Amino acid sequence: MSALSRLPGRTNQNRSQTIRRGAAETALPYAMVAPLLVFIGALALYPTIKTAYAAFVHDNALVPPTHFAGFSNFQDVFNNAQVRASLLNTGIYVVFGVVLSVGLGILFGLLLQRRFRGRGIVLALMVLPWALPGVVEGVIWSWIYDPTFGVLNATLKTAGVIHNYQLWLGTHQLETIFFISLVQVWQITPLAAILVLASLQSIPSELYEAADVDGANGWHAIKRITLPLIRPGIAIAVVEGLVMSLNIFDQVYVLNAGASTGSSLMSETYQITFGNLNFGDGYALSLMATVTTIALSLLAVKIIYRKVEY
């Protein structure tokens, strides 16, 4: 009887050990990720909170003292004609950047889906523009757009498209924004193509074989099978294009300098903050850009993203 009486205690002990072991295994992944979360929080979360608070503080080195100002910084920003112009320009940058980068990304992804000789080299070369810093890209394209010895002018004149060298940047608003957008599209299209290509690789070939048996041509296969099933990749590519287009700065700063024809929200934020030393208005613009980026990104994911199950 004594031996039997000890069995429930041992069972409870084993159950407790199993529960503790399960809890430890469950907590292990979180413990391993915790240092990275702390680092990200210190690197991103703290500055975001500080910026959100500073956006409501009057902090102008030329007009002291510093004090809480409520929404006056936002009123100053919206009353600034140059800021309103930069908001309009940024909207055009977003349209050009997202449409061109995602469209070209889908096209290049479809072209690279099939294996061919030298495909690995093409992929490696395609990634280079994305890996280059924005300032370097701006310098490279400034040589291309140069009105005196630029490659674009020389090529178009040789082809007979133009008769005289043209000034491509700083003269007309849409023209300036378009040519600056091309620089950023050149940078972000490779990532969009890789995202689309990754989605394409996950589509079972049996679906295309079944469509071929049913008599579907290439366009119908793309429309009915490919595009619906790569929507997750397209959604990420759209978000990437949105984020980079809304926050475009390097290319604008290098190619357009301080000209208002192609100014962006970020370039105007830089000018107000470090040119005019008006840190309060600069923080307000930064907060607006952050909120707008998050809102549009979430909206794009909600509209485009669909869970794919095979």
Q: What is the dihedral of CA 251, 252, 254, 255, to 10 degrees?
A: 100
- Indicate the range of 29-33, 69-73, 239-243 predicted with least confidence: 29-33
Q: pLDDT confidence of 134, banded at 50, 70, 90? A: confident
- Indicate the range of 57-66, 69-78, 229-238, 253-262 predicted with least confidence: 253-262
At 164, give phi and psi (nearest 5°). Answer: -130, 155
Section 45-65 average pLDDT: 88
Distance CA 110, CA 263 (A): 34
Residue 25 has pLDDT above 60, yes or no: yes
pLDDT value of position 9 = 55
Residue 14 has pLDDT above 70, yes or no: no
DSSP assignment, residue 60? B
Q: pLDDT confidence of 57, banded at 50, 70, 90? A: very high
Contact 234, 106 (CB under 8 A): yes
pLDDT value of position 103 = 94
- How is the chain split into domains, by residue range? 2-43, 73-304
Distance CA 270, CA 258 (A): 10
Contact 161, 273 (CB under 8 A): no
| Burial zone of 55 (CB within 10 Å; 0-12 exposed, 13-18 middle, 19+ buried) | buried
Section 98-102 average pLDDT: 94
Query: Ranked by mean pLDDT, which of 45-54, 87-96, 203-212 comes out on top?
Result: 87-96
Section 41-70 average pLDDT: 87
Nearest alpha carbon to residue 284 among 75, 92, 87, 80: 75
Residues ≥6 apart with Cβ < 8 Å to 27: none
Residues ≥6 apart with Cβ < 8 Å to 264: 86, 89, 90, 93, 248, 249, 252
Residue 15 has pLDDT above 60, yes or no: yes
Three-state DSSP state, 229 = helix
Distance CA 288, CA 303 (A): 22
Instruction: Supply the CATH classification number for the domain 73-304.
Output: 1.10.3720.10
Residue 7 has pLDDT above 70, yes or no: no
Q: pLDDT confidence of 1, banded at 50, 70, 90? A: very low
At 80, give phi and psi (nearest 5°). Answer: -85, 120
Distance CA 262, CA 172 (A): 9
pLDDT value of position 297 = 93
Q: pLDDT confidence of 77, banded at 50, 70, 90? A: very high
E strands, 59-209, are 67-68
pLDDT value of position 4 = 45
**Which two three-digit tokens encode residue 179?**
């040519």
Residue 237 has pLDDT above 70, yes or no: yes
Section 21-47 average pLDDT: 79
User: In this predicted model, which residue has the larger pLDDT, 8 or 263?
Assistant: 263
